[in-house]
Amino acid sequence: PVIAIPISLIGTFAAMQMLGVTLNTLSLFGLVLAIGIVVDDAIVVVENVERLIAEGLTPREATHQAMDEVGSALIATTLVLIAVFVPTVFIPGISGQFYQQFALTIAISTVFSTFVSLTLSPAMCALLLKPKNAERNALGKVVDFVFGWFFRGFNRFFDVTSNIYAAIISRLVRFSAVSLILYVGLLIATWYSFGLVPSGFIPPQDQGYVIVSIQLPDGASLSRTDVVTQKVAEIGGKIDGVAHSVGIAGLSGSTFTISPNAAVTFLPLEDAKERAKRGRNLDTIIADLRKETASINEAQIFVIAPPPVRGIGRGGGFKMYVQDMSGAGID
């Protein structure tokens, strides 16, 4: 497994680059999930070969028999995983764009893992694995001298932990009612937790700051916009839960383009834990901001919670320019 994991991941990175998949939150999440699959494939082969060697077969014979036993199972598992994840690539719309890289990462890493488990892992088992009573070569003696203390300590710790776990399970089996009560309690806790977590395709999240977009009438000067911006920044700085305010006159808060009659104010919030003690969550702060800025009649003011995923939000806009080819003017 120590060698199979890096090789499988390197192959996955190469395929990701060819397919245009970038390293982002979703692809990295897919890699994290895929590492467990890669480890399982390698362990299945090695464990089965070791079992057959312990039964008296030579490493080469044990490897041949082990692959006859688990080879088809590895291929079937890979096909099942591909059948589960690959169809999500063809989901239309924004949902498909989200899950496409996640699904491709898992499918690619699974294919490489299976290939390594069917080729490299058996070859290494036949060459490197030895019976327990076999005489070790010079390399084996060096490895045992350098790392033996760690593996012996780990094995002792693992044996103690396994014995404790087995003792607990054997006692719980005798009292099935207790196990059933614990299971029902976990189901209730899970159901209750689902109610606490925001639901939706991209549920709103507390990003630690609020955006206030300011739009004055067309033709408003930059100095007039700056006066309104300072007024909004002053109001925002007095709201409970707001750490400080930063106003930028001449920058549109919806399109982030230069415009003399637009402005944007950023309001970083205090630490979420400190605000929670006073009952000041994101919704209450936004509600207070909208209430306080409603008295400003010089401009249209929009208080916006930043989207959880950049580039995907409810705020936006566009500008259109018309080129006067004939010089006729605005009239």
Residue 320, phi then psi, degrees to nearest 5? -125, 130
How far from chain centre, in Å, is Cα 154?
A: 31
Degrees, nearest 5: CA angle 57-58-62:
65
Residue 311, pLDDT score: 62
Domain 209-304 fold: Alpha-Beta Plaits (3.30.70)
pLDDT at 177: 83
Instruction: Yes or no: say if 212 and 264 are a contact pair by the CB < 8 Å rule.
Output: yes
Tell me how far the alpha carbon of residue 123 is from its chain's centroid. 35
pLDDT of residue 94: 76
CA–CA distance from 250 to each of 18, 211, 297 (Å)?
42, 15, 18
pLDDT in tens, 208-237: 889 999 999 888 889 999 999 999 999 998
DSSP string, 15-79: HHHHHT---SHHHHHHHHHHHHHHHHHHHHHHHHHHHHHHTT--HHHHHHHHHHHHHHHHHHHHH
pLDDT in the model for residue 291: 92
Look at residue 134 in the predicted model and tell me its pLDDT: 64
Per-residue pLDDT tens digits for 141-155: 776 777 778 888 888
Domain 4-135 has CATH 3.10.25.10: no
Say how many C-beta atoms besides its own lie within 10 A of residue 236's C-beta. Answer: 24
Ranges in the chain, pLDDT < 50: none
Strands 246-251 and 209-215: unpaired
Residue spans per domain, the chain = 4-135, 146-196, 209-304
